[in-house]
Amino acid sequence: MSSTALSDESARTVAEKVVDAISDAEGEAATELTPPLYDAIDPEALDAVTESMNSEGTIAFEYCGHEVRVDGDGEISIDG
């Protein structure tokens, strides 16, 4: 008998979700993205700020040639 753990999307950090979104947009594995996320923004600070942000706030930054927007409700938008 085998079991597979189901991924709980709500347990993933905003930084992890950003890396996954950019990885999908670039068609590359997350581990292959250059530069790493921390060259664009501090992942721990991103997570901390988004946890305390109200639904009105937005964080925007550039990563791997894409404009990344993280809204207070947790929605991540990638442009570029």
Q: Specify the pLDDT at position 74.
A: 84
Q: Specify the pLDDT at position 30.
A: 94
Q: Specify the pLDDT at position 73.
A: 85
Percent of all residues in the chain with a pLDDT value above 90, rounded to a whole number: 71
Q: Specify the pLDDT at position 11.
A: 83
The whole-model pTM stands at 0.83
Extract the tokens encoding 80. Answer: 């570029």
Q: Specify the pLDDT at position 8.
A: 55
Number of other residues whose CB lies within 10 A of the CB of residue 61: 14
Q: Which residues of the chain have pLDDT under 50?
A: 1-7
3-state secondary structure 19-76: HHHHHHHHCCCHHHCCCCHHHCCCHHHHHHHHHHCCCCCEEEEEECCEEEEEECCCCE
